[in-house]
Every structure is written in C-alpha cells, then in structure tokens.
Amino acid sequence: MTTFDDILEEAGKFGRCQKRIFILLCMVSMPWAGVYVGIVFQGFTPDHWCRDPAVVERREACGWNLAESRRLTVPLDNSSGQQSSCEQYEVDWNATELTCDKQELEDLSRTPTISCKHGWEYDYEGRRSFVTEFDLVCSDAWLVDMFQATLNVGFLVGSIAIGYLADRFGRKMSFLISNLLNGVAGILVAVAPNYISLLVFRTLYGFGVKGGWVAGYVLITEIVGVEFRRTVGVIYQMFFSIGILILPLLAYYITDWRWLQVVITIPYILFLSYYWFIPESPRWLLSQNQNSKAVKITEDIAKENKMTLSKNIETLKDDNADSTTASFMDLIRTPNMRKHTFILSYNWFTSAVVYQGLIMRLGILGGNVYIDFLISGLVEFPAAFLILFTIERIGRRLPFATANFVAGVSCFITAFIPDSMFWFKTAVACIGRLGITMTFEMVVFVNTELYPTFVRNLGVSVCSTLCDVGGIVAPFLLYRLAVIWLELPLIIFGFLAFLAGGLVLLLPETRGVPLPDTIDDIEKLSPFKSPSNKDWATV
C-alpha cells in the first residue's frame, strides 16, 4: 500500500506549491491579532470627568482650558487625592453669576457632591473608542470586560463547532465558511447601533475567527513533509506577532474605533478568494475514503512542484483509518488519547492564563500604549527563533517543558524582587513572557502531532477551548488576587507553569515521526521510547 507520506517524498515535501499555500495561509494570523487584542485601542478608557453643560458653555465663551473648567466640576477623590472621574459638585451654575474671571471662582471644597448627571467629558485628543461613544465608565465600566468576554465565548463555541465541521466536511470548506462569517460579523460590529448589539455581533465574530485559524493551521501542516511541520507551524504563529506590530500603527492613524474595526475585518473578506488558490487536504480526503480527489490534488501538487511521480499513485489510500467521522469520544477512547487530551488541554489553559496575565501586568505600569505594543510584539520574535533552533536538534518535549519551567521560575523570582529594582523586575518578567510565548507556540503544533488524521482538527479545537477559558480567568486571577497581595498572581502563574512543564515530560517525543493516521498509531507512542525505536519507526 502506498501512503501519502510515500507519495509526498516524490511530489515534494515543501515545494513551490506548498510554499505558495503556506504564504497565503500565514496572512490569516495577522488580522487575528487585531481581533484578539484590538480592545486595547478600540476600548481604550481615557481620562474622563463629569460633564456639566453650563461649565462647558462658559469654557467655550471664556477660552478656558480643560483643567480650568474641570476644577469647577470635579471634586478630589479622598482615597487617591486625584480628581474624581465619577462625581461632580452639586452646583447649578446657571443659577450663579459665573464670570470669566478665574480669580473670582469660589472655593468648592465644602460643596456636596453627586454622581454624574449629564454624562462625561473625555481627554482623548480627537479619538473615539466604544468606551467614549457608549459612556462605559464608572458604574458601567465592567461592561468593557464583556467586550472581550463575549469574544472568548465565541472562540470557545466556534473552535469546537468549526473543528467538527473541518473533520466532517473538510479543512478548506470550514476555513472558507469561517471567513465568510468573519467578514459579515466584523462589519456588523463596526456598524452596531448600541452596546447590546455590539456584544452579540462580537460573539459571532469570535465564533468564526479562531476556528478558521485552526483549520488553516491543520491544513498547512498536513500537506508538508515531517521535517517541515515544525517550521511552518512556528512561522504560521509568528505572523500573529507581525500583526501585533502592525496594529498600533493602524490604531495611531485610524482614530475612530469603528473604522479600525472595518480595516481589521477587510482581510477576512479577501480570504474568501482562497477558494481558487488553496486545495483540500489530501490526508483528510484519504481519511474520508475520497481517494480519487486525494489523487487528483496530489498530482496537482507534484505538477506545480515540477516533480514526477513514479509510484503507483492509484493505490494511494488509508486502509488503517479507524473511522471516517470524528467525535469527542475518540479523544478519550484509549489511554494515550486520554492522556494527550488532558495534558494538552491543561497546557492550552496555562499558556493563556500566564501569557495574558504577564501582558496585563506590564500594561498596568502605564506608558505609551503604542510603544508598549511594539515592544510586546518584538519580545515574541526571539521565542520563535529559539523554537526553530532547538526543536529539530533537541526535539519537542524538552524545549516545551523547559519553556514552561522558565516561565514559572521567572514568575516566582519577579514576585520577590523589590519595586525599587524596577528595570530588573521588568527584565525578569520579560524572560517569563519569552518562556510562555514559546509554550504557546509549541502547544499548537505538538497538539497536531499527537492526534490521528481523522480527528486532528477536532482534537486541536477541543483542547484549545481551554485557552479561551484561560483567557476569561486570567484578568480575575490578576486583579482579584492582587487585592490580597500584589505579587500573589505571579505565584499562581508560576505554579501553573511548573505543573504544565512536568506534565509535558509525560508526552511522547514526536521529532521525526510521521503524522499518525489512526488511533493505533497513537497507542504505539510512549514517552519512554526514542523516536529511533523500532516501534516508532512503524508509525
């Protein structure tokens, strides 16, 4: 029997055809950065204070600046000593003889205060976020969190649903359906008339974005040779970091959150043209017993790569496939499948909690949000290069576990460094960010290597749902625990990362091992056997 890997040896493991498809699919990672972290710009909460129509009118007539008029409206916050954002003096300025002479302004320190009655004013230099448009401040500030929470709910449901569709109806079809949904939902977010509809459309947006990204990832890893899987997997994710570098530049020049949303969404509409440029996965077609289509696509790949097939391609098939349809029970059917599902799910969860937690911790230090984003994107590039340098020389398991351990140690050390050593504390935290970024990038392609073809997309999607749960949990762990002790979240992050590293050591090494096609192939894998072992060679 001729397998797809045998044919790929002659058709080209990473020829012109695969490179073209790879470049096209890498583009999908860039707008995802805007979807995932765009809230920093779209939902930015600027300095704000209660609006008093009479004071605003007098300011415009007298030519006062914001600080001068603000003194007439906003009392000092007793706890912080700063001007309040949510209270105003209880004064009817229309009933007073307010003049333009600032020397005559009375002392208001003993004046009663009330909550804002006429909305808020924002010091935002002509920019507009959905926070300023819908006045999501003070008692309504928690609604801003819902913007990100609903996205993660969409991720959670969509990754499972799209993952199932990808294993049932194909990688290409689910990818295209996802992008159609992304284009429609993204534009609906941009034109949402109120905040309730915005949250509904945001949930739909999340439903398609992540599932489509995972489908693209699985597709590209299934059409390249074993030795190229790790490279395409890491670079595919590295384009997310490129998206992070591009996002602050877009946000700097596009000052309205709605237009920024449109710009982030446009690429998903353009991705619909991939219908004519990318094929279905031959591996998936074989797992569904659609041999003739798999043969046709494989011949097209060889032709574009200018290669000649000498093997009898008509015998290309997958007789060992357990099933032609995927179900959740397949992920826990056997001991190794259960172990892989548990360990990978936990690592997805930990990666999301620690990754987002460290980013949010650096973010609360203040500074220029545009520069902070550029730096955060640049920090991720060394992680990608470290993976590419070590993954084929050492393997998957040890770098994966070590990255978790480095993140954990960095969190523990950072927690006990005094605040007076600010730059040293920041540097150690960045090392932790580097480690957890490596973990985040590695868990994706290790996940694809530890599931058989017919359930691979569903397996990645189900495990990665814990990433979405982690994304919801992270801010609560950071902010709630910080009330007890500022460094307590770092202790929790360190513990989670250490446990994740230990569990990774129980996974088998997959360096040089062909992608498994059946559950029997998975059961032959063992963390205590070398890839050169005879049992592994039969996989």
Statement: residue 36 has pLDDT above 80: yes
- Give the percent of the chain with pLDDT over 70: 85
Spatial contact of 174 and 215, defined as CB atoms under 8 Å apart: yes
C-alpha–C-alpha distance, residues 324 and 321, integer Å: 7
**Backbone angle region of 508, left / alpha / beta, with phi > 0 → left and psi within -120 to 50 → alpha:** beta
Helix residue ranges, H only, 322-368: 335-363
Task: Please name the residues in contact with 528: beta carbons below 8 A apart, sequence gap of 6 or more.
Answer: none
Residue 167, phi then psi, degrees to nearest 5: -80, -20
C-alpha–C-alpha distance, residues 203 and 209, integer Å: 10
Q: 224-275: per-residue pLDDT in tens?
A: 887 787 788 888 888 988 898 899 899 999 989 999 999 999 999 999 999 9
Spatial contact of 215 and 31, defined as CB atoms under 8 Å apart: no
The secondary element (H helix, E strand) that includes residue 19 is helix 16-26
* CA 501, 505, 511, 514 torsion-angle sign: negative
Statement: residue 358 has pLDDT above 90: no
330-529 maps to CATH 3.40.190.10? no
- Domain range list for the chain: 1-44+137-322, 48-94+107-123, 330-529
User: Which amino acid appears at position 206 of this protein?
Assistant: G
Mean pLDDT within 350-363 = 77
C-alpha–C-alpha distance, residues 430 and 440, integer Å: 15
Q: 307-316: per-residue pLDDT in tens?
A: 887 766 666 6
pLDDT band at 360 (very low <50, low <70, confident <90, very high): low
C-alpha–C-alpha distance, residues 270 and 283, integer Å: 26
C-alpha–C-alpha distance, residues 325 and 102, integer Å: 77
Instruction: Tell me whether strands 120-123 and 87-89 are parallel, antiparallel or unpaired.
Output: unpaired
C-alpha–C-alpha distance, residues 59 and 43, integer Å: 28
Provide the strand spans (E) within 90-128: 113-115, 120-123
C-alpha–C-alpha distance, residues 402 and 392, integer Å: 15
End-to-end CA distance of the chain: 14
Q: 453-500: per-residue pLDDT in tens?
A: 777 767 777 787 888 888 777 777 776 676 677 788 899 999 999 999
The CB density around residue 476, as the number of other CB atoms within 10 Å, is 11
C-alpha–C-alpha distance, residues 292 and 295, integer Å: 5
Instruction: Tell me whether strands 87-89 and 47-50 are parallel, antiparallel or unpaired.
Output: unpaired
In 3D, which of 364, 352, 372, 366 has the Cα closest to residue 479?
A: 364
- Express the helix, strand and coil content of the chain in percent, nearest 5 each: 70, 5, 25
User: Which amino acid appears at position 122 of this protein?
Assistant: Y
Q: What is the pLDDT of residue 322?
A: 45
Q: 69-96: per-residue pLDDT in tens?
A: 777 777 766 555 577 778 777 777 666 6
Q: Which residue has the higher pLDDT, 491 or 291?
A: 491
- Fold (CATH) for 1-44+137-322: Growth Hormone; Chain: A; (1.20.1250)
Computed over every residue of the chain, the mean pLDDT equals 81
Q: Do domains 1-44+137-322 and 330-529 have the same CATH topology?
A: yes
Spatial contact of 235 and 28, defined as CB atoms under 8 Å apart: no
3-state secondary structure of 327: coil
In 3D, which of 139, 501, 455, 495 has the Cα closest to residue 325?
A: 455
